[in-house]
Amino acid sequence: MTTTDAFIDALPKVELHVHLVGSASVATVLELSRRHPGSGVPTSEEELRRFYTFRDFPHFAQVYRAVNQLVREPEDVATLVLGLARDLAPQGARYAELQVTPYAHHVVGMPMREVTEALDLAARRSLAEHGVEMAYIFDIPGEFGEEAAKITIDHALQEPPAALVGFGIGGIEQERVKYRDAYRSAFSAARTAGLHSVPHGGEMSGPETIWEVIEGYGAERIGHGINCLADPRLVAHLRDTQLPLDVCPTSNVCTGQIARIEDHPLPRLLEEGLFVTLNSDDPPMFATTLADEYRVAANVFGFGKAELAHLAKNGVQASYLAGNRKEALLREIDDLMNAISV
């Protein structure tokens, strides 16, 4: 009989919620911090792991920005993408939608065209060298206002990478209300250009933020969304529309949104009939992987192989993969389930 660990390793997966800088392995961050001394990011592994112990979400955002300042050249961008593909391949991941923050590269002086060329090169090499297909989501850092919105949408419309599929927003949710019109306008322009709307919402604030991304941003998929359970009307809406929620359990504990992994609402979200995908968010920063998130679902919440396969299929169905690629991956998952049942 196939063990659960072996099943998880073999299960074809997609990663729909992972950030470029947050995907950087410890080894990559150490290489960059030693290359750029004086950045404030530790240059020893022990210190870096302590640096990655977060008090709360604002502290996490502060650390994330510090690491982001190490990414100063287009070559650094390509290195991060390839590093993620290398890390995902042995986990059974076939496809990832990687969240890139153009504003962060703009403020350190990288030209749009050079960033796009690096992303295009990295996407080609990720598939050729690691068998992982990369797509990109451009996201606005929500606490930086109108300038960040303008830089992000300008890059998306004027110099998009070939694999750009979506437009999002992250950062500290409580700050967004100050810039509501700018963010709504940016999302409207992105949707008009054919990009999918995939904002964060309901991670560190309540249902009102989820309603805002649905009604104001035209959300087609929502990053996190875990606080929807506080609003029965919202839960009913999410159930009726099957609007996907990209859930990242370990992340929510590490940033202080959930006290203990055992308290995470993932099981209840599924019990309520909501459409949930499973993701890693910023895996090295949270000492996790995509496969580890499936292990959390199995070991903490008691999910069996059928439930794990259901989550994997949800990820494929919620992705922006081409239709024939979706069908092929769904068949792979079914074939795996059939193989273990005989």
Q: How far apart are CA 219 and CA 222, in angstroms?
A: 6
Query: What are the contacts of 60-64 at 24+ separation with CB within 8 A?
Result: 60/254, 60/255, 60/285, 61/143, 61/171, 61/172, 63/285, 64/19, 64/21, 64/22, 64/282, 64/285
Q: How far apart are CA 323 and CA 122, in angstroms?
A: 23
pLDDT in the model for residue 1:
52
Q: Which amino acid type is present at position 226?
A: I
Task: Read off the pLDDT of each residue in 291-312 and give the average, rounded to a whole number.
Answer: 98
Q: Six-digit token pair at 236?
A: 């009913």
CB atoms within 10 A of CB 40: 15
Domains in the chain with CATH codes? 4-341 (3.20.20.140)
pLDDT in the model for residue 342:
46
- Confidence tier at 3 by pLDDT (50, 70, 90): very high
Strand pairing class (245-247; 276-278): parallel
- Confidence tier at 293 by pLDDT (50, 70, 90): very high
For 143-196, write each residue's pLDDT tens digit: 999 999 999 999 999 999 999 999 999 998 999 999 999 999 999 999 999 999
Mean pLDDT value across the chain: 94
Q: How far apart are CA 194 and CA 218, in angstroms?
A: 12
- Is residue 271 annotated as part of the catalytic site, yes or no? no
pLDDT at 121 over 60: yes
Q: Tell me phi and psi for residue 305, to 5 degrees.
A: -65, -40
- Confidence tier at 288 by pLDDT (50, 70, 90): very high
Residue with tokens 């593909």: 85
Q: Are 152 and 138 in contact (CB under 8 A)?
A: yes
Q: Which of 143, 203, 212, 293 is catalytic?
A: 203
Q: Are 97 and 135 in contact (CB under 8 A)?
A: yes
Query: pTM to 2 decimals?
Result: 0.93
Angle at 114 between CA 65 and CA 146, to 5 degrees: 50
Q: Which amino acid type is present at position 189?
A: A
Q: How far apart are CA 66 and CA 39, in angstroms?
A: 7
